[in-house]
């Protein structure tokens, strides 16, 4: 029989998978990989500020991730290439966050847990936050799915249909900030982008519809979580990185299967 902490870890990982996988599809479709990375890196500064002010770490990470996402959106197209802008903001936010953490002399903080996750230390309160956040993300995506999809795949059609692409970008920004906030405990700041992108990328070759890709991505993410937990237990490896390694292996298998299928065709 599984120990309680393993059950909590599995539930936490599956909650994050449910939220991250559909969001990851939009990240892949919009080519926003660096955007997700910048948002995730900013959350460590939110963690430091939250601990300094004795606030909820979840709230601090979400607010800072949201502010970073809004800053990137506002500064895009103002003379800098998007990848340059994201690189500057992502690494600057991470550096400021790490420096801010060093000033928290009266607060005990396990920095490695926030950088790489500590899913085995998830408690019942963390589970409630993770599943509550995942439910909000899924509700937001379900409510705006059609509009988000239209604005993502064809902005001109979105305008013609009365859909404001910038408004839908803000919806995605809010959902992404929520995902970052719920995922920080599971895989950590440095691996959040991987959990967003890899399952969606693995699902892409086998999906015939956007909804199908989102569903396959959820399955891949869920299997990666469970496989990573099992691998971590068997080989005594860090759990967050192990989850991402399993996802990467699934992606490699997906890419190989897709390549072989094209050759046969």
Write the CATH number for 67.
Answer: 1.10.3470.10
For the chain, the domain total comes to 1
- Cα gap 128→126, rounded to integer Å: 5
Residue 65 neighbours by CB under 8 Å, 6+ apart: 39, 40, 42, 43, 46, 176, 177, 180, 181
What percentage of the chain has pLDDT greater than the value 90?
Answer: 32
For the whole model, what pTM was predicted? 0.88
Higher per-residue pLDDT: 257 or 231: 231
Lowest model confidence (mean pLDDT) among 82-96, 149-163, 230-244, 246-260: 82-96
Write out pLDDT tens, residues 187-205.
888 888 889 999 999 999 9
Provide the pLDDT for residue 2.
52
CB atoms within 10 A of CB 198: 30
**16 closest CA partner among 126, 92, 112, 162:** 126
Range of the domain at 126: 4-264
Provide the pLDDT for residue 108.
64
Higher per-residue pLDDT: 256 or 86: 256
Mean pLDDT over the full length of the chain: 85
Has residue 1 got a pLDDT over 50? no
Has residue 222 got a pLDDT over 60? yes
């Amino acid at each position: 029989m599984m120990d309680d902490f393993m059950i909590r870890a599995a539930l936490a990982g599956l909650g994050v998978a449910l939220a991250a996988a559909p969001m990851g599809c939009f990240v892949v479709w919009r080519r926003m990989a660096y955007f997700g990375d910048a948002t995730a890196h900013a959350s460590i500064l939110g963690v430091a500020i939250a601990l300094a002010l004795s606030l909820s770490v979840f709230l601090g990470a979400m607010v800072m991730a949201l502010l970073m996402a809004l800053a990137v959106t506002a500064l895009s197209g103002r003379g800098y290439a998007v990848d340059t802008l994201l690189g500057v903001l992502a690494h600057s936010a991470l550096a400021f966050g790490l420096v801010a953490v060093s000033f928290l002399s009266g607060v005990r903080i396990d920095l490695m847990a926030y950088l790489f996750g500590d899913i085995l230390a998830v408690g019942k309160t963390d589970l409630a936050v993770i599943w509550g956040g995942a439910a909000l993300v899924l509700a937001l995506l379900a409510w705006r799915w059609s509009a988000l999809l239209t604005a993502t795949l064809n902005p001109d059609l979105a305008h013609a249909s009365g859909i404001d692409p910038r408004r839908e970008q803000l919806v995605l920004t809010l959902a992404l900030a929520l995902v970052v906030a719920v995922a920080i405990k599971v895989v950590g700041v440095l691996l959040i982008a991987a959990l967003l992108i890899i399952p969606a990328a693995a699902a892409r070759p086998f999906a015939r519809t956007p909804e199908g890709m989102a569903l396959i991505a959820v399955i891949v993410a869920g299997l990666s979580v469970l496989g990573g937990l099992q691998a971590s237990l068997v080989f005594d490896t860090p759990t967050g990185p192990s989850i991402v390694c399993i996802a990467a292996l699934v992606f490699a298998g997906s890419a190989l299967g897709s390549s072989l299928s094209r050759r046969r065709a």
